[in-house]
Amino acid sequence: MAKTEIVKLDIDQTPLREIKKTTLGTGLIKGLGITMRHLLSRSVTIQYPDEKDVLPARSRGVIALKEENCTVCMLCARECPDWCIYIEGHKESRQPAQEGKRAKKYNVLDRFAIDYALCMYCGICVEVCPYDALFWTPEYEYAEHDITHLTHEMDRLSDWMYTVLPPDELDPAATGPEFKTLPQRTAPAVAPAPAADGEQPTAAGEVAAPKNDQGEPSAPAAAPEQEAKVTEEAAVAIDTDVATGEAAPQEEAPEPEKEAPTPSEPQAEATAVSEEEAEEIGRKVYEEEIGKGSDPRVAEGRRKAAVLRARKGTRGPGG
Amino acid sequence: MPDLLHLLETLLANPWVILGIKLSVLLILLPATLVVGYVELKVMAHIQHRLGPMYPGGFHGWAQTLADGIKFIQKEDIIPRAADRMVFAAVPFLTMMGAALAFVVIPVGPQWIIEDLEVGIFYALAVSSIGVIGVLMAGWASANKYSLVGALRMAGQLIAYELPLVLAAAAVVMQAGSMSMVDIVESQRPFWLFNWPQGLSFVIFMIAATAEVVRPPFDMPIAEAEIITGAFTEYSGMRFAFGLFAAEYIAFIALSALATTLFLGGYLPPIPALDWEPLRPLWFLLKTSSILFVLMWVRWTYPRLREDQLQRFAWKVLVPLSLANIFFVGALKLTPII
Amino acid sequence: MAKVPDELTRARVTGAGTLRTEEMILNVGPQHPATHGVLRVIVTLDGERIVEGEPVIGYMHRGHEKLVEQRDFRQITNLLSRMDWLSGINNEIPASIAVEKLMELEVPPRAQYLRVILAEINRILNHLMFTGSFGLELGASTPVMYAFRERELLQEAMEMVTGGRMHFGFIRPGGLKEDVPRGFVETVLKGIRQLIKYIPDYENLLLGNEIFKQRTVDVGILDPDLALEYGVSGPILRGSGVPYDVRRADPYLIYDEFDFDIPVGAKGDAFDRFWVLIQEMRESARIIEQALEGLPAGSHLGQVPKRLTLPEGEIYSRAENPLGELGYYLISNGEAKPYRMKIRTPSFSNVSVVPHLLRGIYVPDMIAILGSMFFVVGDIDR
């Protein structure tokens, strides 16, 4: 075998040679110093389950199903690499609007189950759903003793919806994905102008709600939100097969969003409340729900939803 | 009432009763093992920037080692079919006894010693070598070729490091002029802190002691990649808890206590002014604890030495060094310095 | 003291004739605390010395190359992260590049920068993991805890962007799945700064430690010719003195725009390989800082058709995985699913050179050598 030519480079080998030299015990002493330093500093442990880490909104904990949006198109079941989504549905007919017209057929969802023992948490189903019926939530505490209980049926999947967090704001420099039919938007060069925004601490805007319920809404975020909002709108309008920029937000968001993308003034200050009042409302809702006999997770989810609504000043379904 | 006092007096005058009381002091070794084990877990955890046991017992998990002990008790007692049953079962006795017997001559005060033998230090070092026989017995009786290899390695290591240990102690005996432990402590009055002639002996003794207890960085025989736990692989449950775990910690405490007595002045206070009778055990405890801490600190900082490097270090570095040390101390003894 | 000539391994004992020593076959089995995962090494021992060592692989074969023949590229990306689970995004990037080159898709600059940032973060995560586990195998149980502490901040950044901590599934042909959230840049910078602050700790605790040096210097010396013959790549090759890095030799993404050095070892022993690993972390941090500074505004996904039907053809795309050169040879016959995808993994070639390193050494050295070969069993077996 021919000897390979090792190209001589100007790489400085002195650090390597220095550190490789035999020393007489100074390395040992330095090592002791490092461990002593750590011994005297505070530990970084988070004591689970008494303390829990706050996970980002995109965390892939468990998948939640929004039944109302599902049209049994079966795209998620088809795209799943593990085939762990089990969907059953049937067709029903609707009365025609006028006499003599054909009866419209629509799909009804009978069974929607995800087998989390098989699921590889890739998120393709969430990404591919054209009607935004699937969402990621950061919940991870659903371990079971029996593996068959790891198949979550429709009711359980719907319950998970109460734990879905609104998506994080995008980086200000982000614009949406490139679409052939839309003129390309550019990122804002300057921080948002409307002075009104700075004076409204609670009008956090429609799309980019705070990272978690306890986080402060960020005030100077109106303009990038507008951009994200615009591309969102456009994305929703366009072919939904292509991957969109971000997961769709919760149900309240589309209504205020459909209005013109103006600064958030005319929106919601009428009913937007302060932080403490929002928390108070949330507490009341929670107690109400528990009083009615709901599951504590459901009550928690409704509490969070009520707090968010109160903060933004939007109305919930049914007022 | 006077009858009761009279009874008590006659009892306490009986030498057998006194011996019984003294030996029962050794029972304190088992709870001591639990405490030292727990401290080791906490020190390890904080060095690694984490918290360690927090749950058992509630307050920072103080009952962790106790819970481990209870867990060991309820384990199945397995003896391999091909093993030599009598020898297999006898091993934990040897390892624990060898370590515990050294406590007979450790002074916690001038009269607070179980028996102040005239050959105190000689006895302590001799008795701590009984453990080597225990290890060899364990390796042979396990009927497992990997255990045998591990046992031979461990025996080799213990024998190799016995020499620097003894030679370092010999330097102390030379300076003190007596082998009795109490005499050695008393000879370090009043300024044991500045006992500079024994500085090198101290370091050699500490290194040899770490190797004697088979702790990192000298733990190749037990934490071997191919032989998990080496000679003691076949030991489970209470045999393991007593034979390896407890015996190791007792030996650890024993050697630290020996080091305190030989080099750090035993029960002497840091400054002579604080020499008050009831405080003496406290000084002893503080000094032993600091040695235990330093050995724990060293354990969690360094990787393991390979077996041949271990042996080379013992025979080619430590033994010549300790011989030179004896020469040096002997020369000093001839001068009026010490 | 790693290699001893064969004559000295058999002894003539006076008074006992020639001792016939038997060679013992030891199975460092698939389940073992010292090998990373299910690698089996059949070792023939003569006393304390290894006469021959043979790694047996295949215990983790999951049929990746067959699986990808039935799936389209979004699913393939998710499957491929499971090959070398410590490298994360770096497994997905060459696959996407292969598709992009075949279909001639343009990737917007922002997506390229973000890909580089994510890839380098994963390189640091991988190297931290091996730093910790190498120390653990040698008996130093503290550096592994420190390494995991450093990993946490960077994994937080990855979770913030992709939602996962180990398997990401984030790279799509044409760019990324989503754009990064607000706060990503700050989190990454915080993680990098903490890493740079603590790398000297690893250097002092491990590289500078005399006991560590005794265990790793002159142990497992890999001859550069032998390494090149077997196709070894990555930090192991660079530890032997060959300055070969795919990011320089065949730049993919936009690596030619960044200024970084390639650490190269001198002798090829375990110490050099480990030193290269730690220095590479520093270089990755440099790349990330430069990329974050130059991160342009823009879109995260280029113009990609609805259905990704690959044109007929074949292409080999490769990248510098943290463990070495990862290559995908993609043959397509006009459908959305690949006709054949041959995966060239770095760990397979790296481990194939192990028998040469195991001759004539002590058993504890075998542990040190296996630890310094930096392989992931999922990568060997696919």
> Which CATH number belongs to the domain containing residue A78 in this structure?
3.30.70.3270
Complex confidence, ipTM: 0.82
Per-residue DSSP letter, B199? H
Burial class, A90, CB count within 10 angstroms (exposed 0-12 / middle 13-18 / buried 19+)? exposed
Residue B238 lies in a domain: yes
* C84/A25: higher pLDDT: C84
pLDDT at A206: 35
Q: CA-CA distance, B258 to B125, in Å (whole number)?
A: 9
Which CATH architecture best describes the domain C71-381? Answer: Orthogonal Bundle (1.10)
pLDDT at C282 over 50: yes
Considering its fold, how many domains does chain A have in total?
A: 2
Considering its fold, how many domains does chain B have in total?
A: 2
Query: Please, are residues C255 and C247 in contact by the beta-carbon 8 Å criterion?
Result: yes
Residue B246 lies in a domain: yes
Confidence band for A273, pLDDT divided at 50, 70 and 90: confident
Q: CA-CA distance, C159 to C151, in Å (whole number)?
A: 12
pLDDT at A269: 40
Select from B48, B228, B305 the Cβ nearest to the Cβ of C142.
B48
B63 and B152 in a single domain? The answer is no
Domain boundary residue among A163, A178, A203? A163
A203 and A306 in a single domain? The answer is yes
**Are the beta carbons of B47 and A43 separated by less than 8 Å?**
no
Q: What percent of chain C has pLDDT over 70?
A: 94
Query: Tens digits of per-residue pLDDT, A231-268?
Result: 444 333 333 333 333 333 333 333 333 333 333 333 33
pLDDT average, residue stretch B88-101: 86
B144 and B222 in a single domain? The answer is yes
* Dihedral angle over CA of C115, C118, C119, C125, nearest 10: 180
Query: Please, are residues B38 and B27 in contact by the beta-carbon 8 Å criterion?
Result: no
pLDDT average, residue stretch C108-119: 92
Residue B179 lies in a domain: yes
pLDDT at B24: 79
* C236/B307: higher pLDDT: C236
* C24/A239: higher pLDDT: C24
The residue of chain A with its CA nearest to that of B294 is: A32
Q: From C158, C173, C172, select the one nearest C117 (Cα to Cα).
A: C158
To the nearest whole angstrom, how far is the Cα of A52 from the nearest Cα of chain B?
A: 16
Residue B330 lies in a domain: yes
Q: Which residues of A touch C110 (CB under 8 A)?
A: 173-174
**Are the beta carbons of B303 and C142 separated by less than 8 Å?**
no
Residue A260 lies in a domain: yes
Q: CA-CA distance, A238 to A232, in Å (whole number)?
A: 10
* C365/A262: higher pLDDT: C365
Q: CA-CA distance, A159 to C309, in Å (whole number)?
A: 38
CATH 1.10.645.10 in chain C, residue ranges: 71-381
**Are the beta carbons of C362 and B306 separated by less than 8 Å?**
yes
pLDDT at B227: 54
Q: What percent of chain B has pLDDT over 70?
A: 97
Q: Is the dihedral of CA C280, C284, C287, C289 positive or negative?
A: negative
pLDDT at A51 over 80: yes
Least confident of A217-231, A293-307, B250-264: A217-231
Cα maximum dimension of chain C = 85
Confidence band for B11, pLDDT divided at 50, 70 and 90: confident
**Are the beta carbons of C75 and A79 separated by less than 8 Å?**
yes
Residue B8 lies in a domain: no
Q: Which residues of A touch C142 (CB under 8 A)?
A: 35, 38
pLDDT at C117 over 90: yes
Q: CA-CA distance, B182 to B166, in Å (whole number)?
A: 18
pLDDT at A22 over 80: no
**Are the beta carbons of B303 and C365 separated by less than 8 Å?**
no
pLDDT at B167 over 90: yes
pLDDT at A316: 60
Q: CA-CA distance, B197 to B172, in Å (whole number)?
A: 9
pLDDT at B90 over 80: yes
The number of C-alpha atoms within 13 Å of B221 and in the hemisphere containing its C-beta is 27
- Tallying the residues shown for chain B, one arrives at 338
CA distances from A151 to A72, A75, A132, A260, B203 (A): 19, 19, 21, 43, 63
* C8/C253: higher pLDDT: C253
A239 and A294 in a single domain? The answer is yes
A201 and A124 in a single domain? The answer is no
Domain boundary residue among B10, B39, B74? B74
Coil, strand or helix at A86:
strand
B98 and B42 in a single domain? The answer is no
A256 and A207 in a single domain? The answer is yes
Residue B83 lies in a domain: yes
Would an 8 Å CB–CB cutoff place C306 in contact with chain A? Answer: yes
Q: What percent of chain C has pLDDT over 90?
A: 22
Query: Please, are residues C156 and A143 in contact by the beta-carbon 8 Å criterion?
Result: no
B37 and B88 in a single domain? The answer is no
pLDDT at A4 over 60: no
pLDDT at A3 over 70: no
* B67/A181: higher pLDDT: B67
* C33/B262: higher pLDDT: B262
Between vectors from CA B24 to CA B19 and to CA B28, what angle results, nearest 5°? 145
Least confident of A119-123, A264-268, B273-277, C289-293: A264-268
Q: Which residues of B touch C28 (CB under 8 A)?
A: 225-226
pLDDT at A218 over 70: no
pLDDT at C136: 85
Coil, strand or helix at A64:
strand
To the nearest whole angstrom, how far is the Cα of A220 from the nearest Cα of chain C?
A: 13
**What count of other Cβ atoms lies within 10 Å of the Cβ of residue B333?**
15
B182 and B57 in a single domain? The answer is no
Q: Which of B39, B42, B49 to mutate to test the interface with A (most CBs of A within 10 A)?
A: B49
pLDDT at C322 over 50: yes
Query: Tens digits of per-residue pLDDT, C74-92?
Result: 888 888 988 888 888 999 9
**Are the beta carbons of A41 and B300 separated by less than 8 Å?**
no
**Domain range holding A211?**
195-312
Would an 8 Å CB–CB cutoff place B55 in contact with chain A? Answer: no
Residue B207 lies in a domain: yes
pLDDT at A41 over 90: no
Q: CA-CA distance, B283 to B198, in Å (whole number)?
A: 20
Select from A28, A36, A38 the Cβ nearest to the Cβ of B302.
A28
Residue A211 lies in a domain: yes
Least confident of A176-190, B174-188, C50-64, C276-290: A176-190
**Domain range holding B53?**
30-74
Residue B11 lies in a domain: no
Least confident of A25-39, A262-276, B12-26, C184-198: A262-276
pLDDT at C291: 92
B63 and B183 in a single domain? The answer is no
